């Protein structure tokens, strides 16, 4: 195995690309650290795989967070039912709440766009 092949074999990749439907209004928050974020929950229809074949669950929900000012503005304009695409990285974020602590796994959004607006209902 050549030197280039060895370097490629040990490379770490943390890239996520999702396209899904916005589940609810975006939530803007200020974290205890002072960081401002906008969180959006995406609904992703499940493909049938060996893991999901026997499941009654037809979709997955994924939390996505925008941290930059530009992404926060963009994501804050999304509406429930919009179809959006996001690119980013999988992150585990630790937090303290009340007397306890916890962690959440979410997508840190690095690029995002709305690909289709939700249908207008009257």
Total-model pTM: 0.80
3-state secondary structure of 7: helix
3-state secondary structure of 100: strand
Which residue segments constitute the domains of the chain, with CATH numbers given?
Answer: 14-116 (2.40.50.140)
Do 86 and 115 meet the contact criterion of CB atoms below 8 Å apart? no
For residue 99, give both structure tokens.
Answer: 């007397």
Each residue's pLDDT tens digit, 65-76: 999 999 999 999
Each residue's pLDDT tens digit, 33-75: 899 999 999 999 988 888 778 888 888 999 999 999 999 999 9
3-state secondary structure of 3: helix
pLDDT band at 2 (very low <50, low <70, confident <90, very high): low
pLDDT, the chain, mean: 90
Give which of 69, 66, 49 is closest to 57, Cα–Cα. Answer: 49
């Amino acid at each position: 195995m050549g030197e280039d092949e060895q370097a490629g074999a040990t490379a770490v990749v943390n890239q996520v690309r999702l396209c899904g439907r916005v589940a609810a209004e975006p939530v803007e928050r200020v974290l205890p650290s002072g960081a401002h974020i906008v969180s959006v929950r995406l609904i992703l229809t499940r493909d049938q795989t060996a893991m999901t074949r026997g499941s009654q669950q037809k979709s997955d929900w994924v939390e996505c967070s925008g941290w930059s000012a530009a992404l926060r503005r963009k994501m804050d304009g999304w509406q429930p039912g919009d179809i959006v695409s996001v690119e980013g990285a999988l992150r585990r974020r630790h937090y303290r709440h009340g007397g306890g602590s916890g962690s959440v796994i979410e997508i840190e959004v690095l690029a995002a766009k709305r690909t289709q607006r939700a249908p207008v209902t009257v």
